[in-house]
Amino acid sequence: MNAYEIAKEQYAGLGVDTEKVLDKLKSIPVSLHCWQGDDVTGFDQKGPLTGGIQTTGNYLGRARNPEELFEDIRKVFEITPGTKKLNVHASYAIFDEGEFADRDKIEPRHFKRWVELAKEYGVGIDFNPTFFSHPMVKDGLTLTSPDENVRRFWIEHGKACIRIANYFARETGQTCVINFWIGDGYKDIPADRMGPRLRYKDSLEQIFTESYDFDKVKPCVESKVFGIGVESFTAGSSEFALSFAATHDRCIPLMDNGHYHPTEVVSDKIPALLCFFDEIALHITRPVRWDSDHVVLFDDETKEMAKEIVRSDALDRVYMALDYFDASINRIGAWATGFRNWQKALLNAMLMPHDKLKELQNAGRFSELMACQEGLKLLPVGAVWDEYLRRCGVKGELEWFEDVLAYEKETLSNRK
Ligand code: RNT
Ligand code: ZN
């Protein structure tokens, strides 16, 4: 027997059907963020990345235009298993020669090439208005700005983005998750914390008057605890975003696991929210001391997040998107490593006998539960993973990076 056959029998002994798991895993959409390829620069501006987020590093080969970014995305699709969605930011609008539309005026046609790419692969598109890296960000503020001209500009941006999300959903026939994140906040102790939040609430309410079909277009509000340069106050805090989503129909909360205090874990928050929300959304990242957006690894908290989704039987209630950006290493390698690792985490979670473990917990058999959970860690997940890669036509763990090296040599190194 080969390693997979042995693993299959071993898992069958625990009541886990690896064949079903492999079929299911292949069908779960995970959103691949376009912004790992160019350090969150986008195509509509040349300025620095703002909004309290930062990329560090200057590895060769950053994608500088749509052609290069698409080429890179194709490579990542090729070297990663499973079903993808494209996750696009508004700043990645593609204009014709000599054409430009500001963020409040962008239209679906500026994203036509993204739709073409999605259609080529039969994948959906998720979307994000871009409330950063733009001259209309005044004193670090957008939707919370006390300057009505500024706030109006960004409200119009939000509405324009909903129209684009409608277009993506219509064209691809798949749900479009549209995520609202703003970096608005203050570096130092503010004199008014409620005013900015009331303006943010009002701005979102105005944006969501734009019509959309909630079966197809899913607006989310993403919270954050702080950002670089806005250490003392963030308008879109966790309480703000959760309360907004809870009190507004047709809007769901999004948790980014880099956006909490270091000892808080999103794995614990997932089932808590699932008690109250039909659907939730995630940004999967890896915070190292802070919201550093490191590449997702197959580490404990990543595994735990996947387990909570699977245990809660919520694979169809949680929209999963990756969100990291490392400019210090090969960007294709970074992108693919994170995507592959989230797939591994899902596989690992799906291979666990959750009903049995829950029974042990409910029966108060805690030492047995501990021993069992520890025992599961050394089961042959890797053999099932190898089989999954084989079935997806993707290279194995110790082989796929050869392709990245070849791509770096042939393509990335020519980008000077
Ligand atoms: C920032 C948020 C946000 C961004 C992307 C680029 O802290 O996580 O989701 O990373 O929109
Ligand atoms: Zn995020």
- Tens digit of pLDDT for each residue in 190-214? 999 999 999 999 999 999 999 999 9
Least distant ligand from the CA of 132 = 1
The reported pLDDT for the residue numbered 396 is: 97
Q: What is the pLDDT of residue 78?
A: 98
Residue 167 lies in a domain: yes
pTM: 0.98
Does the active-site annotation cover 283? Answer: yes
Mean pLDDT (whole number) for 347-368: 98
Cα–ligand 2 centroid distance for 290 (angstroms): 13
Catalytic annotation present for 17: no
The mean pLDDT value of the chain amounts to 98
According to the model, what pLDDT value does residue 68 have? 98
SS3 content of the chain, % helix, strand, coil (to 5): 45, 15, 40
Contact 308, 284 (CB under 8 A): no
- Whole-angstrom distance, CA of residue 108 vs CA of residue 125: 13
Query: Does a structural domain hold residue 18?
Result: no
Ligand 1 pocket test: which of 231, 238, 283 has the largest number of ligand atoms within 8 Å of its C-beta? 283
DSSP one-letter code for 171? H
| Helices then strands, each counted (H, E), the chain | 14, 12
With a 6 Å cutoff on the Cβ, whether 342 touches ligand 1 is no
Catalytic residue flag (residue 35): no
219: nearest Cα among 239, 245, 194:
245
Is there a catalytic annotation at residue 291? yes
Q: How far is the CA of 223 from the centre of ligand 1 (A)?
A: 10
- Ligand 1 touching residue 53 (CB < 6 A): yes
- pLDDT over 80 (residue 181): yes
148-172 and 194-207 are packed helices; what angle lies between their axes, rounded to 10 degrees? 40
Is 35's C-beta closer than 6 angstroms to any atom of ligand 1? yes
Give the structural domain span for 153.
Answer: 27-350
Q: Which residue has the tokens 């409200």?
A: 155
Atom 10 of ligand 1, residue of closest alpha carbon: 323
181 lines ligand 1 (CB under 6 A): yes
The predicted pLDDT at position 95 comes to: 97
Q: What is the pLDDT of residues 324-349, one digit of tens each?
A: 999 999 999 999 999 999 999 999 99
Assess contact for 146 and 199: CB atoms under 8 A. yes
Confidence of residue 1 (pLDDT cuts 50, 70, 90): confident
Instruction: For residue 180, give the ligand nearest its CA.
Output: 1
By C-alpha distance, which of 380, 343, 324, 410 is closest to 79? 343
Whether residue 127 is contained in a domain is answered as yes
Give the per-residue pLDDT at 251: 97
Is residue 181 annotated as a catalytic residue, yes or no? Answer: yes
In a domain, 178, yes or no: yes
Any domain includes 252: yes
Q: What is the pLDDT of residue 416?
A: 86
Within 208-292, residue ranges assigned H as helices are 238-247, 266-274
What angle separates helix 401-410 from helix 331-350, to the nearest 10 degrees?
Answer: 160
Which residues in 208-237 are b (16+ Cβ under 10 Å) and which e? bebebeeebbbbbbbbbbbbeebeebbbbb
Nearest-CA residue for ligand 1 atom 3 is 181
Domain-located, residue 8:
no
Residue 243, domain CATH: 3.20.20.150
Q: Report how far apart, in Å, the C-alpha atoms of 374 and of each of 215, 302, 368 are.
A: 41, 17, 10
| Cα–Cα dist 396/393, whole Å | 9
Number of domains in the chain: 1
Report the C-alpha gap between 70 and 93 in whole angstroms.
13
| Residue 282 scores a pLDDT above 80 | yes
Cα separation, 162 vs 151, whole angstroms: 17
CA separation for the pair 243, 198 (Å, rounded): 12
Q: Is 406 helix (H, G, I), strand (E, B) or coil?
A: helix
Residue 173 has pLDDT above 90, yes or no: yes
Q: How far is the CA of 235 from the centre of ligand 1 (A)?
A: 15
For atom 2 of ligand 1, the residue with the nearest CA is: 181
